[in-house]
């Protein structure tokens, strides 16, 4: 009888755990769909409208991302990681979702740079509080053996949301104008992501996290490790290359590449290319998540970084449509795996108990690179009337990131997770 009861209890626990894992994966999917896909990747679609209507420079519209991440990242990045490790990710996610929605609604009403920067701060806060950091920790707590697959599925939300964002933004702009489109997307973020985040559990078998269980590992030993600095340098360089490319991509297409086309045709074609990038990222996330569960994560990370580095030079040939579409597919695959592989590599090297604080530091550093690179590229375009110098900088940056990853150890540290 006791054995039967134990078997029933074990089966019930396994069923509950699987149900919880499904809920966690769906919650992270919708959170990343909204905060990263619609908000982060959706905003650059509106940059050229702001340049035209407000007579702002390319450097000014990309500097909203720069100033907000440069301010928010160092001030809140590590604190957010500490809070997630100590109190769990759910409340942070809810706050982030609300702030991301407020950011887009606020940006739809702004006509001055001061307000533009102010609401971009909310966008950065939403990303820190509700974006990759809490979702990475949430997934890592609920999944072990299939962590790569789970992370890959959750990060599909970024690709789906990002792929939909330019098409949705283009359609909404035709219906309501670009401010109305931004406003609608901000409201959608809250409606889509908040309900699931409200009901999700922090970790298996409990609604709360015991502080002593998640703060026993010191971050100090991690910060003294040479592996940490290689991981940080590699991720900063690759994320900087990705961010610098994507944030300027529509400006490059509508302002340079498609300059001779009718305005609506140029807008539609740019929306299609942006959507192709982010739809291709879906394949990247699935493929890299699958590979990460089967091969040393170092090699998967290196593959991703080399794909990013080799795709950017295709922009020099983008006047030929086949090369432009080839860029979109390759860059999208690299983009899809880029953000996803960092927490998987970090968990393998240093373990899950310190992951929130570790990723707080790494994502802060990545945020600085992601903020700085687009402004540098935009400024070279403003000064030289060409993106050639800026894109060349991004190519070098991407290869530096790949070199740092090559120096990381490949040994699996699963016993520490």
Q: What is the pLDDT of residues 127-162, one digit of tens each?
A: 888 888 788 788 877 777 666 778 778 878 887 888
Which residues partner with 206 through β-bridges?
A: 203
**pLDDT value for 411:** 57
Burial of residue 321 (number of CB atoms within 10 Å: 0-12, 13-18, 19+): exposed
pLDDT surpassing 90 at residue 329:
yes
Range 232-259 burial, b when 16+ CB lie within 10 A, else e: bbbbbbbbbbbbbbbbbbbbbbbbebbe
* Claim: this prediction has a pTM higher than 0.75: no
C-alpha triplet 84, 133, 288: angle, nearest 5°? 140
- What's the rounded Cα separation, in Å, for the pair 244 and 123? 18
Helices (H), 253-354: 263-292, 297-311, 321-350
Phi-psi region of 9 (alpha: psi -120 to 50; beta: other; left: phi over 0): alpha
pLDDT surpassing 80 at residue 126:
yes
Mean pLDDT of 117-126: 88
At 203 the three-state DSSP class reads strand
Count of C-beta atoms within a 10 Å radius of residue 212: 8
pLDDT surpassing 90 at residue 188:
yes
List the structure tokens of 14. Answer: 């396994």
- What's the rounded Cα separation, in Å, for the pair 213 and 122? 32
pLDDT in tens, 230-267: 988 999 999 999 989 988 998 899 888 888 888 888 88
Mean pLDDT of 11-40: 77
**pLDDT value for 25:** 85
- What's the rounded Cα separation, in Å, for the pair 239 and 81? 19
Helices and strands: H and E segment counts in the chain? 15, 0
**pLDDT value for 7:** 46
Categorize the per-residue pLDDT at 88 as very low, low, confident or very high, splitting at 50, 70 and 90. confident
- What's the rounded Cα separation, in Å, for the pair 316 and 107? 33
Q: Which residues contact 59 (CB under 8 A, 6 or more apart)?
A: 375, 378, 379, 382
pLDDT surpassing 90 at residue 180:
yes
Categorize the per-residue pLDDT at 297 as very low, low, confident or very high, splitting at 50, 70 and 90. confident
Which residues partner with 203 through β-bridges?
A: 206
**pLDDT value for 412:** 46
- If you average pLDDT over every residue of the chain, what do you get? 82
Element (H, E) at 44: none
**pLDDT value for 244:** 92
- What's the rounded Cα separation, in Å, for the pair 405 and 4? 50
More confident residue, 292 or 146: 292
Q: In angstroms, how far is the first alpha carbon of the chain from the final one?
A: 36
The values of phi and psi at residue 49, to 5°, are -65, -40
Q: Which residues contact 338 (CB under 8 A, 6 or more apart)?
A: 238, 239, 242, 304, 305, 308
**pLDDT value for 4:** 47
Q: Which of 62-71, 94-103, 186-195, 217-226 has the lowest mean pLDDT?
A: 217-226
Mean pLDDT of 91-99: 90
**pLDDT value for 76:** 73
pLDDT in tens, 77-86: 667 777 777 7
């Amino acid at each position: 009888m006791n054995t039967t009861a134990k078997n029933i209890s074990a089966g019930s626990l396994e069923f509950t755990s699987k149900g919880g894992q499904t809920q966690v994966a769906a919650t992270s999917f919708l959170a990343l769909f909204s905060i990263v896909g619609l908000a982060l990747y959706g905003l650059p679609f509106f940059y050229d409208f702001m340049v035209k209507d407000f007579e702002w420079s390319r450097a000014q519209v990309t500097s909203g991302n720069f100033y907000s991440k440069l301010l928010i990242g160092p001030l809140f990045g590590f604190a957010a990681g500490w809070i997630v490790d100590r109190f769990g990710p759910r409340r942070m996610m809810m706050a982030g979702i609300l702030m991301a929605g407020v950011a887009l609604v606020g940006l739809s009403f702004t006509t001055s740079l001061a307000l533009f920067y102010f609401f971009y701060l909310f966008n950065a806060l939403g990303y820190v509080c509700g974006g990759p950091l809490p979702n990475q920790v949430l997934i890592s707590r609920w999944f072990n053996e299939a962590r790569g697959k789970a992370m890959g599925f959750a990060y599909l939300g970024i690709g789906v949301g990002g792929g939909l964002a330019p098409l949705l933004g283009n359609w909404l702009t035709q219906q309501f104008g670009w401010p109305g489109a931004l406003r609608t997307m901000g409201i959608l973020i809250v409606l889509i992501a908040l309900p699931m985040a409200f009901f999700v559990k922090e970790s298996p078998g409990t609604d709360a996290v015991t502080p002593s269980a998640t703060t026993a590992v010191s971050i100090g030993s991690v910060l003294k490790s040479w592996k940490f600095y290689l991981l940080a340098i590699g991720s900063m360089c690759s994320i900087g290359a990705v961010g610098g490319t994507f944030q300027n991509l529509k400006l490059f297409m509508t302002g340079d590449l498609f300059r001779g086309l009718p305005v609506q045709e140029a807008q539609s074609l740019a929306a299609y290319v942006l959507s192709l990038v982010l739809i291709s990222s879906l394949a990247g996330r699935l493929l890299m998540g699958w590979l990460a569960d089967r091969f040393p994560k170092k090699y998967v990370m290196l593959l991703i970084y080399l794909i990013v580095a080799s795709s950017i030079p295709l922009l020099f040939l983008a006047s030929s449509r086949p090369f432009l579409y080839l860029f979109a597919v390759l860059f999208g695959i690299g983009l899809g795996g880029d953000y996803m592989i960092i927490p998987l590599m970090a968990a393998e090297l240093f373990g899950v108990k310190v992951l929130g604080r570790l990723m707080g530091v790494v994502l802060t550093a990545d945020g600085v690179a992601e903020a700085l690179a687009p402004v540098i590229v935009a400024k070279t375009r403003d000064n030289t009337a060409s993106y050639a110098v800026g894109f060349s900088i991004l190519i070098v940056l991407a290869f530096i990131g790949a070199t740092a990853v090559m120096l990381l150890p490949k040994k699996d540290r699963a016993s520490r997770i």
